[in-house]
């Protein structure tokens, strides 16, 4: 009688083990599906973040390029104007050495030289001011980029799939 009971108990025990492992296998498979879904969803989120970041970068890049374009035009114009003034100073130098010229003429030439030299000085200041604007924008962008790199990065915003 006791052998029968032992055998039945053993049988039931084994059956429950089989059932339990069946359930565990089912659970593992479900969990596996679940992490795949989770991975897919994270992948999609990463792609969305990436798209947003690309858009932000493009906007930032366009803003910087616009500043560069405008200030480059200013600096190029400044350079052209200075070239013209320098040429005129060179010509004035030749003219002032001309012994045939009257005193009045030379006086006038000296006055023009003074004006042109003053203009060179002013254009120099303007060029520096334009450059300062450009440099400030570049500097700000570099600082912002460094700060962003420190505070925000894709890995720090995402939690990896946990076990």
77-96 positions binding another protein, by CB under 8 A: 78-79, 82-83, 86, 89-90, 92-93, 96
Interface residue with another protein, options 2, 59, 75, 105 (CB under 8 A): 75
Per-residue three-class SS string for the chain: CHHHHHHHHHHHHHHHHHHHHHHHHHHHHHHHHHHHHHHHHHHHHHHHHHHHHHHHHHHHHHHHHHHHHHHHHHHHHHHHHHHHHHHHHHHHHHHHCCCCCCHHHHHHHHHHHHHHHHHHHHHHHHHHHHHHHHHHHHHHHHHHHHHHHHHCCHHHHCCCCCC
Counting residues that bind another protein (by CB under 8 A) gives: 81
Q: Does 60 bind another protein (CB under 8 A)?
A: yes
CB of 122 to another protein, least distance (A): 10
Cβ distance to another protein smaller for residue 7 or 100: 7
Residues with Cβ within 8 Å of 89's Cβ and at least 6 positions away in sequence, in order, are 113, 116, 117, 120
By CB under 8 A, residue 37 contacts another protein? no
- Is residue 101 left, alpha or beta, with left meaning phi > 0 and alpha meaning psi from -120 to 50? beta
Q: Which of 24, 55, 59, 147 binds another protein (CB under 8 A)?
A: 24
Q: Based on the shown chain and the rule CB under 8 A, indicate whether residue 59 belongs to the binding site for another protein.
A: no
Q: Is 35 in the site for another protein (CB under 8 A)?
A: yes
Q: Does 11 help bind another protein (rule: CB under 8 A)?
A: yes
Which of 41, 48, 54, 147 forms a contact with another protein (CB under 8 A)? 54
Instruction: Tell me, residue by residue from 107 to 136, as one string, x for binding to another protein by CB under 8 A and - for no binding.
Output: x--xx-xx--xx-xx--xx-xx--x--xx-
Residue 32 is a binding residue for another protein (CB under 8 A) = yes
């Amino acid at each position: 009688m006791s052998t029968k009971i032992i055998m039945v108990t053993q049988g039931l025990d084994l059956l429950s083990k089989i059932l339990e492992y069946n359930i565990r296998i089912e659970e593992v498979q479900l969990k596996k599906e679940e992490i795949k879904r989770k991975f897919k969803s994270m992948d999609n989120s990463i792609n969305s973040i990436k798209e947003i970041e690309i858009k932000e970068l493009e906007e930032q890049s366009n803003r910087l390029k616009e500043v560069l374009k405008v200030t480059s035009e200013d600096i190029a114009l400044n350079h052209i104007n200075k070239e013209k003034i320098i040429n005129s100073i060179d010509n004035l130098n030749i003219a002032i050495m001309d012994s045939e010229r009257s005193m009045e003429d030379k006086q006038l030439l000296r006055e023009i030289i003074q004006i042109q030299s003053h203009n060179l000085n002013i254009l120099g200041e303007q060029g520096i001011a334009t450059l300062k604007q450009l440099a400030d924008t570049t500097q700000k962008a570099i600082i912002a980029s460094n700060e962003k790199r420190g505070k925000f990065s894709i890995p720090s915003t995402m939690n990896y799939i946990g076990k």
